Amino acid sequence: MVKLACIDRDRESQQALTQFLQSIYTSCRETMGHTLVPEFYPAFQEEVEINPAPDAVVVGWQGGVEASYRVCKSVKVAHPDVPIFVFFEDTDFSLRNLNRFQAVSDFHFKRSAEEPQRFIHQVNLRRGSGRHNAKGKLVVVAGVKGGVGATSIVSGLAHAGDALGSKSIIVDLSAGSVFAFYAGAESLHSLDYRSALIHSQEPDLELVAKCTSQAPNGLNLLLPPMDGVSGRSDGSQLRELWVRDPERFETTLRIIELLQQMYDCVLVDLAGTEGVLSFALRARADTQLLVSSNEPASVHLLSRWFAALGAIGYAGRTRILINSTESTGISFRDVKELLSLSEYFEPEMASLPCLAYDKIAGRWIGTGNSFYTEGSRGTRRCLAAAYSQLIEAAQSEVTAGARPVMQRLLGVFRRGFEARAESTPPALPQPDFSSESSAEGPLVRPSTAQAASSYADERELITQEISDLYTPPALSSANGSSQSASVGE
């Protein structure tokens, strides 16, 4: 959601400006398709200056050129990073005014003749530049096929974020709300979500609070909509409205935007869902996480995913997480070598650590816990490192606590070597070989010739001792004469 403060001469003109911008947005939705959901609200100059900065400020035309210039100058001083959009009357839209407003505003539009698409496009480009609070990351998790552990990874990442002090929520797009069932949530579906979809209701924070739930293991969940007839979310009619209807998927996207304001990370488990909703979530995601196991079929499908991703061209990042479901599967190094053959593969896509084979962690379903809590210490460390990289945590304590294991070990060894260098023990006293008062006299290194002579004498002595103990039998030559074999030979 993009918040835009509408400033004009008085409250009546502010309301008129808000309605004018809302009509622009409505017309753009019909021609441009999906756009960001803006929130236009009337405000005076003083209200904008003393309150947290909005995403953008729109200055109307009814106050006149001089009043608009003073408003832009004052708001720019209070919030220098917030983009300012100014609308002019047709008679005031001149080169002189444009040059004058260039230093105190960012974009200028003519009220009657300006194309509305240009305004909405600039709002989309400049969104978030003046945000007061950080926006939560949207991470979309997709398995290359069933059984690779994508749902397990989602549960592990959510609990890893909680361990690092980050707040996350899980959005499950599966047909039967399997994640809420695995987590033991009290309710598996939401009637309020269903009502919002059917009636195309504009979501707000109150509605989002009704659609969310916390499982007994501490995981936060967005409950899927419930079919009013069967009490399930896999009804064909409701599910079509939810994931495939091009006119109602905006409701879910609006809910996701509100969740990003409430949580540090929104984890979406696609669960093999196809339709306009999954495509829109991938297009808007900050990071798309592809989960694959280390068995040959999954690795082969993972390589085919890159061709599809390259053809579509997602704006967000793509990361790969290998979940070793087999103890004797393909190594992580071989997987990267195979993926490097694709023209769309980049080395940073495989920057996440590989999850080692963990038989106990794979049995988390039915325990009421998660893949993180049931896993070994190595599994928990890898999940924490992966979560930190996915959300790009700005907090230093989160990043430091989720560093890869090898980097942490190198840091420990480096500190140990530095401490050893600083506290070098005193040298032991060396004997004085130059003293002539020694009882055995000075030590003299023998020369090379003496050493060779001593070695030859010792070898001859050893050969003589062996000859005394053993005498070899006589050998017959070709002419019938006998001769004795020498031991030294």
CB atoms within 10 A of CB 225: 25
SS3 9: coil
Domain range 2-125, CATH class: alpha beta
CA atoms within 13 A on the CB side of 459: 9
CB atoms within 10 A of CB 71: 24
pTM: 0.56
CB atoms within 10 A of CB 470: 7
- Evaluated on CA atoms 324, 330, 336, 338, the torsion sign reads negative
Report the distance separating Cα 276 and Cα 279, nearest Å. Answer: 5
CATH homologous superfamily, domain 137-414: P-loop containing nucleotide triphosphate hydrolases (3.40.50.300)
SS3 171: strand
CB atoms within 10 A of CB 201: 14
Q: What stretch(es) of the chain map to CATH 3.40.50.2300?
A: 2-125
CB 148 within 8 A of CB 305: no
- Residue 175: what residue type? A
Show the DSSP H helices in 392-485 as ranges.
396-401, 405-422, 448-469
pLDDT in tens, the chain (489 residues): 678 999 999 999 999 999 888 888 877 765 555 556 678 899 999 889 888 888 899 999 999 999 999 999 889 888 888 899 999 998 888 888 888 898 888 888 888 755 667 787 777 665 544 433 457 899 999 998 888 989 999 999 999 988 888 889 999 988 878 888 888 888 888 888 988 888 888 888 888 888 988 888 888 999 988 764 444 444 567 888 888 888 788 888 889 988 998 888 999 999 888 888 888 888 888 888 999 998 888 888 888 887 676 655 555 688 999 998 888 888 888 888 888 887 778 888 888 989 988 888 888 887 888 888 888 888 989 999 999 888 874 333 333 433 444 454 455 455 555 555 555 455 445 555 444 444 445 544 444 455 455 556 656 665 665 555 555 565 555 555 545 444 444
CB 60 within 8 A of CB 87: yes
Distance of CA 111 to the CA centre of its chain: 42
- What is the residue whose two structure tokens read 């023998």? 446
What is the gyration radius of the CA atoms in the chain, in angstroms?
Answer: 37
Q: What stretch(es) of the chain map to CATH 3.40.50.300?
A: 137-414
User: Exposure string (b/e) for 231-250, b if CB count within 10 Å is 16 or more?
Assistant: ebbebeebbebbbebeebbb
Of the candidates 230, 142, 150, 226, the one whose C-alpha atom is nearest the C-alpha of residue 185 is 226
Q: Please classify residue 374 by burial: count the beta carbons closer than 10 Å to its beta carbon, then call 0-12 exposed, 13-18 middle and 19+ buried.
A: buried
